[in-house]
């Protein structure tokens, strides 16, 4: 891509991102209260959305070929357990990432000598 094409591609992404973020505010402008159903969605959608985002992060993981999602499952369990235990973000996120990178880069578990 040329510099112009790179700039245009970025501009299109900026426009698309702003559109998705602004759409609800365009749909319900002004001071009027949104309908109760929208208010209900505002409470429960965030919870559902987080569930969706976690799945989104694992969307390319496969169980049918190497490494059979083993690094992902271990990484996931590590973050869940360590976070429920210590509630320390640095430990959960930093530790989980370093553990995962170590597994990916070493070819774990197929690099083990057994």
Partner 1 sequence: MKRKALRAAFPYTLPVMIGYIFLGIGFGILLTSKGFAWWWATIMAVFIFAGSMQFVAVDLLVSAFNPLSTFILTLTVNARHLFYGFSMLSRFQSMGKKKPYMIFALTDETYSVFCGVDAPADVNADWFYFFIALLDQVYWVLGCTLGALGASIIQFNSAGIDFVMTALFIVIMIEQWEKTRNHLPVLIGIITSILSILVFGADKFIIPAMIGIILLLSLFRRPIEQRNLNEHA
Nearest residue (CB) to partner 1, 49 versus 110: 49
Q: Closest distance between partner 1 and the C-beta of residue 35, in Å? A: 11
**Measured distance CA(57)–CA(61) in Å, rounded:** 9
Q: ∠11-24-27 over CA atoms, to 5°?
A: 110
**Measured distance CA(41)–CA(80) in Å, rounded:** 27
111 binds partner 1 (CB under 8 A): no
105 binds partner 1 (CB under 8 A): yes
**Measured distance CA(91)–CA(10) in Å, rounded:** 34
The count of C-alpha atoms lying within 13 angstroms of the C-alpha of 16, restricted to the half-sphere facing its C-beta, is 6
25 binds partner 1 (CB under 8 A): yes
Q: With 0-12 CB in 10 A as exposed, 13-18 as middle and 19+ as buried, what is 71? A: buried
67 binds partner 1 (CB under 8 A): no
**Considering only residues 66, 86, 93, 111, which one is a binding residue for partner 1 as defined by CB under 8 A?**
93
63 binds partner 1 (CB under 8 A): no
The residues of the shown chain that bind partner 1, judged by CB under 8 A, are 1, 5-6, 8-10, 12-25, 28, 31, 33-34, 37-38, 40-60, 71, 75-76, 79-80, 83-84, 89-90, 92-94, 96-97, 100-101, 103-105
């Amino acid at each position: 891509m040329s510099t112009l094409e790179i700039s245009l591609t970025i501009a299109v992404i900026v426009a698309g991102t702003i559109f998705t973020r602004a759409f609800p505010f365009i749909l319900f402008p002004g001071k009027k209260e949104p309908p109760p159903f929208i208010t209900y969605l505002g409470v429960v959608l965030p919870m559902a959305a987080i569930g969706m985002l976690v799945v989104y992060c694992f969307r390319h993981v496969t169980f049918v070929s190497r490494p059979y999602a083993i690094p992902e499952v271990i990484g996931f369990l590590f973050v869940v357990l360590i976070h429920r235990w210590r509630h320390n973000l640095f430990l959960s996120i930093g530790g989980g990432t370093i553990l995962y990178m170590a597994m990916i880069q070493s070819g774990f578990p197929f690099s083990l000598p057994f």
